[in-house]
Amino acid sequence: MKHQEYLGKLLSDLLQGGENEVIEFKRDICNNKEIGKYFSAIANEANLHEVEKGWLICGIDNDTHDIIGVKDFSTIGQFENLKKSISDGIEPSMTFLNIHALNTEKGKVIFFEIPQAPKGIPIAWGGHYYGRVGDSLVALTLDKLDRIRHQVTFDWTAQIVEGATLEHLDPTALEVARIVFVGKYANRFKADEVMGWSETAFLDRIKITIDGKITRAAILLLGKRESVHLLSPSLVQMTWKLEGAERAYQHFGPPFLLTTTELYQKIRNVQIRIFPEDQLLGIELAKYDQKIVLEALHNCIAHQDYSRNARVIVTELPDRLLFENEGIFFGSMKKRVGNL
């Protein structure tokens, strides 16, 4: 897709969604001071809403959301001078990811692409912190300021579990982990070599123990079902839900290396017959591809924020599967939601 086509589709999507904490429309290019304030506000709100970026878009009527175009603003030099002017007032120093120009029949639309504030670091303009309430520009509240400053950027799954030993791991899950490792790295290690490693050496090799000490990742993936108390008070569960004419649900805990397959087997994956246009005979296919379903589920587990005490949820609807987790995902305002 060409860049102008991409910008056109992006603008259509943003106009359909309307203004919010990370999207702002303006009739014309604001003065540098106003752009700086919006930079601060949208960067901070993007951080709080866990989205990668926000947008200030000029050339749009604020009330009707019609394209009206901005006054002449076309040279690369104008872009670069504006970027430098804004970055000089930003604390700590940041620059726009980019400034884009979309040429339309009704005039030129300018996109200011604003990155989210870094974890733990609120963004100020001219010495003041800004935020948004809906589509309104306001001072960043103390509550929001504290939420950004107190953000923790450590890997929850990599923490050592005090008191955990190899006895807390499931033997079957350990055996499956070795088999999977052998298959993935067949060009580097012989099967006999891998099977000859001690459990401690193997787990250190796959990086879910640290110098033989059990991490939360080891309990999540390989832990016995009764070992889940070691991760308390965090809620470590996946849930399958059936919605529609019939309703049902079931929870699954560690070892996730095994129970992801158990959850997949709950899904009613019927065979569907399709008739390609250029073929006489029909073809039978599974409604859902197992590899794709498990990949989506594994991604939810890998990117889950376990500190939020929430489940990974797979909802089976009559026409699709819905995957949800409490993680940070591109394009999501709160949590990851995906469909198959």
Q: Are residues 211 and 277 in the same domain?
A: no
Looking up tokens 């999501």, which residue turns up? 332
Q: What is the pTM of this model?
A: 0.55
Are 29 and 140 contained in the same domain? yes
* Domain limits for position 21: 3-149
Q: What is the pLDDT of residue 74?
A: 58
Query: What pLDDT does residue 339 have?
Result: 56
Which residue from 144, 134, 89, 86 is spatially nearest to 114, judged by alpha carbons? 86
Residues 140 and 162 in one domain: no
Ranges in the chain, pLDDT < 70: 1, 72-78, 93-97, 152-154, 279-280, 327-340
Q: Are residues 224 and 284 in the same domain?
A: no
Mark whether 257 and 325 lie in a shared domain: yes
Residue 330 is predicted with a pLDDT of 37
Domain boundary, last residue among 100, 125, 149? 149
How many Cα atoms within 13 Å fall on the side-chain side of residue 77? 0
Q: Are residues 40 and 76 in the same domain?
A: yes
Bridge partners for 213 per DSSP: 210
* Domain harbouring 145, CATH code: 3.30.950.30
- Judge if 175 and 269 occupy the same domain: no
What is the predicted pLDDT for the residue at 331? 36
pLDDT in tens, 31-88: 888 999 999 999 999 999 989 899 999 999 888 889 998 876 655 566 777 777 887 8
Is residue 126 located within the same domain as residue 83? yes
Q: Which of 132, 149, 166 is where one domain is finished?
A: 149
DSSP string, 214-272: EBHHHHHHHB-GGGGGGGTTS---EEEEE-SSS-EEEEE-S-HHHHHHHHHHHS---EE
Same domain, 175 and 282: no
Q: 44 and 116 share a domain?
A: yes
Tell me the residue length of the chain: 340
Structural domain ending residue among the three candidates 210, 231, 252: 231
Q: Are residues 202 and 285 in the same domain?
A: no
Tokens of 191: 């099967």
Q: Are residues 302 and 226 in the same domain?
A: no
- Quick one: pLDDT at residue 240? 96
Q: Considering its fold, how many domains does the chain have in total?
A: 3
